[in-house]
Amino acid sequence: MYRVIKTYGHERGYSCSFRQWNAKSNCKYLHGYSLGFKITLESPTLDKNNWVYNFGDFSFLEKWLDKNFDHTLLVASDDPEKKSILKLNDRAAKVNELEKISCEFFAEITYKFVAEHLMSENINVVSVEVSEHGSNAASYYEE
């Protein structure tokens, strides 16, 4: 089995703000990170270039990450302040409403997006890891 890893580090600048409104810590307040993403793919075979996947073909993912995580204010669908936060959209922020707010969920939706895109190819998404910084990361994979 062959594996490749595509990484978008914190220096890439997927800067977003969010809050975990139900937390009993400072995470209940808006705070931001430049998120990092690490995508691991695998295949039992290599293509004609002897690659699992062409690293140059990740533009589909970069566009999606830009749309969802670049200079965005993320709000959970069940956030009691959602209405107020959504009012900022296109005025003071680019607001993106998600079902849930957590690195675990960001990893899950990224995994599913990449897996759907690669569905027709002989490539498996092993995992997606999303990190806030060097100390905090979460990953998603399917068994």
pLDDT tens-digit readout, 63-116 = 999 999 999 999 999 999 999 999 999 999 999 999 999 999 999 999 999 999
CA–CA distance, 94 with 75 (Å, rounded to integer): 11
Domain count, the chain: 1
The CATH number of the domain holding residue 11 is: 3.30.479.10
pLDDT of residue 61 exceeding 90:
yes
Pull the structure tokens for residue 67: 């749309």
Determine the average pLDDT of the residues in 118-141.
96
Question: How many residues in total does the chain contain?
Answer: 143
pLDDT of residue 117 exceeding 90:
yes
Determine the average pLDDT of the residues in 54-66.
97
Q: Where are the beta strands (DSSP E) in the chain?
A: 2-8, 14-18, 31-43, 72-76, 95-98, 124-133, 136-140
Helix (H) or strand (E) holding 11: none
Backbone torsions φ then ψ of 57, nearest 5 degrees: -95, 15
pLDDT of residue 136 exceeding 90:
yes
The domain containing residue 77 runs over which residues?
2-140
The answer to whether 37 touches 13, Cβ cutoff 8 Å, is: no
CA–CA distance, 71 with 31 (Å, rounded to integer): 13
> Among candidates 38, 40, 2, which has minimal Cα distance to 126?
40
